[in-house]
Amino acid sequence: MQAFRREPPKPEPSRQRMLSTTAHRPDGTLLIVNHGASRCGINQYGLNIYAALAPSDRYAIAYAECDSRADLSSAMEAYKPTIVLYNYFPLTMPWLDAAGTREFAGVSMGMMHEVTQEDADAATGEMFDLHLCPDPTLDERNPLCVKLPRIIPAYSGSVRPPARTRVGSFGFGIHDKGFVRLVETVQREFDEADIEIRMPFNDIVDVAGRSFALETAKRCRAAVKKRGIHLTISHDFVTKGQLLDFLAGNTLNAFFYDVNKHRGISSTIEHALAVDRPLAITRCGMFRHVTSVSPSICIEDNSLQQIVSNGTAPLAPLREQWTEARFRARVEEICDRALGKSPVAIGA
C-alpha cells in the first residue's frame, strides 16, 4: 500500500473534494469516485488513477471523494458522467451497494483491488457493468473482468543516492509487511549501513498507530544488534513528491512482505520503480507481477549486495510497460468497449 498525503491539483471548492480536467471532451465524462480517508493505500491509488487519466484528450476526467450516498449524488449532479469508475473496496466504501451504483444512468466500472484469478473468474455484474483488475498476470476468462497495467508515477526529481549504504522501505506497519526481516537481513550482510523506514498510521485500520505501527517499530528497533547499523523510523504521512524523493535517496529500496500473503498486487513497487533505484523483494504473491525479473530481485535468490550490483537494468522493461500513458490508453480502450464504440483487445 502507498503511504503519502494527497497533493491537490487545484484548491478544494467545498468540503467535498471534487475536481475536473475540463468541461467537455468528445467522448463524454469519466468520473472517478474515491473515498476520502487520505492515509490509505486505496485512496492514494485512486489519486494515481486521476493523475494518469487527467491528460486524456478524449474523455473529460472528473474526480470526487465520496463517503456517503449523498456525496455520490452531489458528484453525479455536478458532472453528469457518461462512465463512473468506482475506486471500490468494501472497507473503504461500506455505504456503496448495487442499489447505489444502479441508481444513476451511465456505465459503472469498479476497481477490483484484492483481485486473484479466482475472484476475477467468479465476478458478476450485480454491482458493476465491468470490473477493472490492476493485475497484469491475470488471465481474462470472465468477460466482465478486464486487466489493467500497473501505474508507475512520473518522477523528475534530481535526488542522488547516498555515499553510505542506505536501505529504504515504506508502508503501513502491519506485522506481515516484513520490516523486522528487513532489519535482520541488512545487518546480516552489512556491518555499516543506514536503514530508513517510513511507516505512517492508517486511517482505516490503524488510526493512532496502536494496533500495528508502534509495535512494529518497537520490534524493528529491538532487532538492531550491530553498532554500525543505524535505523530511522518515521510515522509522518508525507506527500507523494516527498515519498519519491525519499526513495530516490536510497541505495536500495526493499519490501519483504510475508510470502504467504496472496492478495491483490501491492502498489508500493510502482513508487520504487519510478525513481530508478535497485529494488529487492520477497516472493510474496502480492509481488507476482515482478518476481520474473532477471537477474532476480528476490531476496530468496540473491543477496542485497548482489541486487545492488545488478543495478536497475533488470527493471527497465517494467518501467516501459507501466507508464501513466499506457494506463490511460488502456482505460480509454475499456471505456470505448463499455460504450459500444469498439472491442477491447485482450491483454494489458
pLDDT bucket at 213, cuts 50 / 70 / 90 = confident
Taking only the tens place, the pLDDT of each residue in 16-35 is 667 655 556 778 999 999 99
Average pLDDT over residues 234-260: 92
Percent of the chain with pLDDT over 70: 89
Q: What is the pLDDT of residue 4?
A: 32
Domain boundaries, the chain: 4-151+323-338, 166-321
Residue found by looking up cell 500473503 in the block = 261
* 166-321 CATH, one of 3.90.920.10, 3.40.50.720, 3.40.50.2000, 3.40.50.2300: 3.40.50.2000
Q: Which CATH class is domain 4-151+323-338?
A: alpha beta
Average pLDDT estimate for 172-178:
84
Report the pLDDT averaged over residues 221-249: 94
Q: Residue 343 — pLDDT band, cuts 50, 70, 90?
A: low
Q: Is the pLDDT of residue 242 over 60?
A: yes
Q: What is the mean pLDDT of the chain?
A: 88
Is 166-321 the same fold as 4-151+323-338? yes
Stretch 142-147: mean pLDDT: 96
Average pLDDT over residues 36-44: 82
Q: Calculate mean pLDDT across residues 162-172.
A: 94
3-state helix/strand/coil string of the chain: CCCEECCCCCCCCCCCCEEECCCCCCCCEEEEEECCCCCCHHHHHHHHHHHHHCCCCCCEEEEEECCCHHHHHHHHHHHCCCEEEECCCCCCCCCCCHHHHHCCCCEEEEECCCCCHHHHHHCCCCCCCEEEECCCCCCCCCCCEEECCCCCCCCCCCCCCCCCCEEEEECCCCHHHCHHHHHHHHHHHCCCEEEEEECCCECCCECCCCCCHHHHHHHHHHHCCCCCEEEEEECCCEEHHHHHHHHHCCCEEEECCCCCCCCCCCCHHHHHHHCCCCEEECCCHHHCCCCCCCCCCECCCCCHHHHHHHCCHHHHHHHHHCCHHHHHHHHHHHHHHHCCCCCCCCCC
| Among the ranges given (16-20, 238-242, 294-298), the one the predictor scored with the smallest mean pLDDT | 16-20
